[in-house]
Structure 1
């Protein structure tokens, strides 16, 4: 069983709960365990919030949108959030995920995603730039799951 969807969303705070609700509805309909669904929805909210806040100005002007794609394929869910902003700062290796100071008001999103998902990749889109945050998690299914992977 495979399900996938992709959203092209405005860089607006109101888009974050929309993406989260769509993911939760998809997972509930498919029969994914509610705890796994919740973890992935929180991680998605953090990735979307980062795209809204940081996916802004490009050399061509302000970026108005970002994209969310979710794949439920077999036993795994993969989510990817891409924006058209400046991307992560250039480093020799991939950008690091560092914990925020305990008194910081921001900076916990990527760490939270890393804690909630099984695998996380952060980087920049090739070419014109923009950030890419993708993460996946092994799915657990409810006993009565209508679309449980076989």
Structure 2
């Protein structure tokens, strides 16, 4: 069995914990190991926070001031995608997997690196036209008796 869902959220700070709680609730119900769920929820929070801060409103097909979160739990893997309508990533971020670390005194700039550390596979890209896409995968571990456990 597999499940997927898609959320269209406003670019407001309150949407970040909402997306995180929905993911944690779905993963708990499905029977995903809590440590894996936590890692994915932190990565999702970082991707959503990035969309809220940098995802502009122009020409995306998304409602103004919105971004989209899509999650798939299928067998032994979870894939999450966060897409916004901002200016997209600079070409060097799309091509280069790991960007230089921000200065220790920087107040921002650590989120994408954190996603890379928490997920098994990460891809940063730009949508055709306008907007950034962050997608990441993680191999799942299941609790005993999990509803979606792969056969």
If the length of structure 2 is used for normalisation, what is the TM-score?
0.91
Runs of 5+ consecutive residues of structure 1 not aligned to the other structure? none
Once the two structures are TM-superposed, the CA of residue 101 in structure 1 deviates from its matched residue by 1.4
Q: How many equivalent pairs are there?
A: 148
Structure 1 residues 147, 122: closer, same or farther in 2, change over 3 A? same
- Rounded Cα–Cα distance in structure 2 between residues aligned with 1:49 and 1:95: 21
Which residue of 2 is the match for residue 142 of structure 1? 143
Which residue of 1 is the match for residue 132 of structure 2? 131
Which residue of 1 is the match for residue 123 of structure 2? 121
Once the two structures are TM-superposed, the CA of residue 145 in structure 1 deviates from its matched residue by 1.3
Note if contact 1:95-1:123 (Cα within 8 Å) is conserved in structure 2.
Answer: no
- Rounded Cα–Cα distance in structure 1 between residues aligned with 2:93 and 2:23: 34
Runs of 5+ consecutive residues of structure 2 not aligned to the other structure? none
Structure 1 residues 20, 131: closer, same or farther in 2, change over 3 A? same
Secondary structure in 2 matching 1:112? helix
Which residue of 1 is the match for residue 89 of structure 2? 88
35-44 vs 51-60, greater mean Cα deviation? 51-60
Once the two structures are TM-superposed, the CA of residue 91 in structure 1 deviates from its matched residue by 4.1
Secondary structure in 2 matching 1:29? helix
Note if contact 1:56-1:64 (Cα within 8 Å) is conserved in structure 2.
Answer: yes
Matches within 5 A, 1:52-91: 52-58=52-58, 63-91=64-92
Once the two structures are TM-superposed, the CA of residue 148 in structure 1 deviates from its matched residue by 1.1
